[in-house]
Amino acid sequence: NAGVTQTPKFQVLKTGQSMTLQCAQDMNHEYMSWYRQDPGMGLRLIHYSVGAGITDQGEVPNGYNVSRSTTEDFPLRLLSAAPSQTSVYFCASSYSRQGKTYEQYFGPGTRLTVT
């Protein structure tokens, strides 16, 4: 199993540009999530999904969109990049049992710089 994969690994954007960060998992996990990691702020949840066709906002959703058309894929779209979105982005997935979710498996991350 490849686990959770993310592309690209690095990206530089100009303010106002848009882009999509890709995330895929091959573990048939129902739960998937996107986090951003900033120094001194730990991990902050951007959006999450509990299954195909179901998404919801996390702690810091503004400026980001998600969709979940398949169990495997959970792309994150930056609509109009801003310097405040410079961060490291992690995708994660988790299995569910009887409505409960457990440990998460993380991708390697995307380091995004917005100039």
Question: Can you give the binding site for other proteins, defined by CB under 8 A?
Answer: 4, 31, 33, 40-43, 45, 48, 50, 56, 90, 92, 94, 99-109
Nearer residue to other proteins within complex by CB, 47 or 78: 47
Specify the residue for token string 């106002």.
16
d(CA 64, CA 46): 8
When the beta carbons of 30 and 72 are compared against other proteins, the nearer one is: 30
Give whichever of 4 and 112 is closer to other proteins, judged by the CB atom.
4
Q: Spell out a b/e string for 37-52, using b for 16 or more CB atoms within 10 Å of the CB, else e.
A: eeeeeeeebbbbbbeb
CB of 50 to other proteins, least distance (A): 8
- CB 72, min distance to other proteins, A: 18
CB of 80 to other proteins, least distance (A): 27
CB closer to other proteins out of 79 and 105: 105
Q: What angle do CA 109, 48, 58 make, to 5 degrees?
A: 100
Q: How many CA atoms lie within 13 A of 66 on its CB side?
A: 30
* Residue 86 φ/ψ, nearest 5 degrees: -65, 120
In the complex, what is the shortest distance from the CB of residue 106 to other proteins, in angstroms, rounded to a whole number?
Answer: 4
- Here the tokens at position 55 are 């998404």
